Amino acid sequence: MSKKLLAAPYLVWIAGFIIIPLALIVYYGLTDRDGAFTLANVVSIGTPEHRKALWLSLWLSLLSTIVCLVLAYPLAMILRNRGVGRGSFIVFIFILPMWMNFLLRTMAWQTLLEKNGVINGILSLLHLPNQNLINTAGAIILGMVYNFLPFMVLPIYNVLCKIDDDTINAASDLGANSIQTLLRIWFPLSVPGVISGITMVFVPAFTTFVISNLLGGSKILLIGNVIEQEFTRGSNWHLGSGLSLVLMVFILLSMAVIAKYDKNGEGSAF
């Protein structure tokens, strides 16, 4: 009895902030303005504008996930080999900026990338031609990589830390060179971390609208922007919810991938 009582706050939380809002989104997504059942909102993902926004989101978030992985894996290796003390200090430094507001950090990139921004200022000091950096797809990818990189580093670092030195030593005793060790020992053992990192970068990058608004100058329409506009500008919550349901399918898919490869939760961030 007392155990059940203890669980009550969590049940209220789950019901109030997860189940009910989700049910509302499903309800809105599957009805029209008059409250009648319709699939039109979900099917509208097939219109040329929505499809284009969806593919663009997929493409940009995929690219930024790859960049994150390429940057994070070597970093995680270095951190792991530094040993616990120094490694975790660097990890701490790495997470430190995350304590600052996400929006502020993205706006800081605006200042850096602008036409009269810091980077172009330095370039013109060196008498180099100014670059058109902001309001491009590249700027959006940069913003995604910058904001989500820690979510790739941490799970990989954690998984690598759990690999026993003896395993590595055994590999070299048995004649494996360093590339073989990397490909056949390090990497297979770190797959859970990699998978969890990929999901934690891909999902928020896929659904973001803030980064594309701030660094893309709203010229590049991602699926997150479409949904945001349906809610805040278009006053069409039904369409917004319907498109959110479509996105949820993608997110559930990536959850399924995590569950398949990361059965023991080894690749977690903490």
213 binds other proteins (CB under 8 A): yes
Smallest gap from Cβ 116 to other proteins, in A, equals: 6
DSSP sequence for 90-144:
HHHHHHGGGGS-HHHHHHHHHHHHSTTSHHHHHHHHTTPPP---TTSHHHHHHHH
Convert residues 171-190 into a mask of x (bound to other proteins by CB under 8 A) and - (unbound): --------------------
Smallest gap from Cβ 179 to other proteins, in A, equals: 31
Check if the beta carbon of residue 222 is closer than 8 Å to that of residue 57: yes
3-state SS, 39-81, equals CHHHHHHHCHHHHHHHHHHHHHHHHHHHHHHHHHHHHHHHHHH
Interface residue with other proteins among 132, 169, 172, 178 (CB under 8 A) is 132
129 binds other proteins (CB under 8 A): no
Smallest gap from Cβ 225 to other proteins, in A, equals: 8
Cα 146 to Cα 68: distance, rounded to the nearest angstrom: 9
Smallest gap from Cβ 80 to other proteins, in A, equals: 18
Site for other proteins in 79-108 (CB under 8 A): 101-103
Tokens at 260, concatenated: 């398949």
48 binds other proteins (CB under 8 A): yes
Q: Which has the closest alpha carbon to 208: 162, 146, 166?
A: 146
38 binds other proteins (CB under 8 A): no
Of 57-65, 75-83, 164-172, 207-215: span binding other proteins (CB under 8 A) = 207-215
Smallest gap from Cβ 13 to other proteins, in A, equals: 12
Convert residues 217-236 into a mask of x (bound to other proteins by CB under 8 A) and - (unbound): xxx-x--xxx-xxxxxxxxx
57 binds other proteins (CB under 8 A): no
* HSE toward the beta carbon, residue 118, CA cutoff 13 A: 6
Smallest gap from Cβ 172 to other proteins, in A, equals: 29
95: Cβ contacts below 8 Å, ≥ 6 apart? 150, 154
Check if the beta carbon of residue 125 is closer than 8 Å to that of residue 166: no
230: Cβ contacts below 8 Å, ≥ 6 apart? 236, 237, 239, 240, 243
Check if the beta carbon of residue 160 is closer than 8 Å to that of residue 77: yes
Check if the beta carbon of residue 184 is closer than 8 Å to that of residue 18: no
Interface residue with other proteins among 2, 6, 116, 179 (CB under 8 A) is 116
16 binds other proteins (CB under 8 A): no
Smallest gap from Cβ 268 to other proteins, in A, equals: 4
Residues in contact with other proteins by the rule CB under 8 A? 33, 48-50, 52-53, 101-103, 114-116, 132, 134-135, 148, 151, 155, 196, 199-200, 203-204, 207-211, 213, 217-219, 221, 224-226, 228-237, 262, 264-266, 268-270
